Amino acid sequence: MTAVTVRVPAKVNVQLAVGGRRADGFHDLANVFLAVGLYDHVTATPADRLTITGEGRDIASVPLDESNLAAKAALALAAHAGVAPDVHLHIAKDIPVAGGMAGGSADGAAALLACDALWGLHTPAERLLELAGELGSDVPFPLLGGAALGVGRGELLTPLEVGGGFHWVFAVADGGLSTPAVYGECDRLRRARGTGDGVADVPAPEADPALLAALADGDAEALAAALSNDLQEAALSLRPDLAHTIERGLGAGALAGIVSGSGPTVAFLTADAQGSAKVAAELGACARVAEAPAGAAAVLAQP
């Protein structure tokens, strides 16, 4: 085989319930992922050593070295399989960078699949999911696509039923937000409010039954009413301008607006394609329209 290209979707968190900070520094989550139709493409080709290149909007802010999750994924899979990580990875980016849409994690998941195919490993899906979970909390989900509940630090997935399509508009903000910084701000705000040290006093996170029912029914209005993100307050504290973005989208008729994951992308759920067009027109150049659910990361047929 000479080249393998994998297409991988972004995600939005329709519920992100954040529990206490654990001894390992991570937070227990009930994290409802929904795959959305914005995609990166990762192409793996044989090479004499691990190299990585990229293209696309914002590629200048993506580290094209061994700190990239795609490179880490190739190294992890090679070590697991006992093969040499001699591969060139090319990332064509369309998912917003550091935007709370798991673009870096998507590239890690895509690299796992691409290298598995290029090297003819046929690694069982369960094992790929485990490797993905070791790479990062958000890396396994794109291997499933659709919708899933993530517990633990978000990496332990159960697929969820989705009964219809949902229309989204994403407002991509200038500059990223660091995920650890947003979790840190969430802990700080909780401490300031007297909810303890961020460990003991925070209730265990649970998936919202109304939200799961809305997904299963494909009911956009019910989903809009149930959207929640425990990191939103922290993201708004670090980026107060996002509140204005949310107001603009709601003013243009969005059913709901929510910070995506740790932000700073704001996700608007709309009633239909027309509703999305109106919200996108209001937001201007930063708007990205997408539908959900998107499918899992997948190897594309060779041209």
- Active-site positions read 11, 138
Using CB under 6 A as the binding rule, whether residue 116 contacts ligand C5P is answered as no
Using CB under 6 A as the binding rule, whether residue 32 contacts ligand C5P is answered as no
Q: List Cα–Cα distances, 2 to 43, 102, 117, 228, 303, in angstroms.
A: 10, 28, 11, 44, 12
Q: 3-class DSSP state for residue 233?
A: helix
How far is residue 11's CA from residue 145's CA, in Å, rounded to a whole number? 9
- In whole angstroms, the minimum distance from the beta carbon of 117 to ligand C5P comes to 24
Indicate the length of the chain as a whole number: 303
Site for ligand C5P in 135-154 (CB under 6 A): 136-138, 153-154
The token duo for 192 is 């300031």
Confirm whether residue 102 is marked as ligand binding: yes
H/E stretch holding 13? strand 4-21
Question: In 10 A of CB 201, how many CB atoms?
Answer: 12
**Of 138 and 282, CB closest to ligand C5P:** 138
**Of 27 and 41, CB closest to ligand C5P:** 27
Using CB under 6 A as the binding rule, whether residue 179 contacts ligand C5P is answered as yes
**Of 151 and 169, CB closest to ligand C5P:** 151
The token duo for 93 is 């980016």
Confirm whether residue 100 is marked as ligand binding: yes
**Of 27 and 248, CB closest to ligand C5P:** 27
* DSSP structural state of residue 59: G
Q: 3-class DSSP state for residue 188?
A: helix
Confirm whether residue 182 is marked as ligand binding: no
Confirm whether residue 84 is marked as ligand binding: no
The stretch near ligand C5P (CB under 6 A) out of 46-54, 132-140, 249-257, 275-283 is 132-140
Contacts with ligand C5P by CB under 6 A lie at 26-27, 29, 136-138, 153-154, 179-180, 183
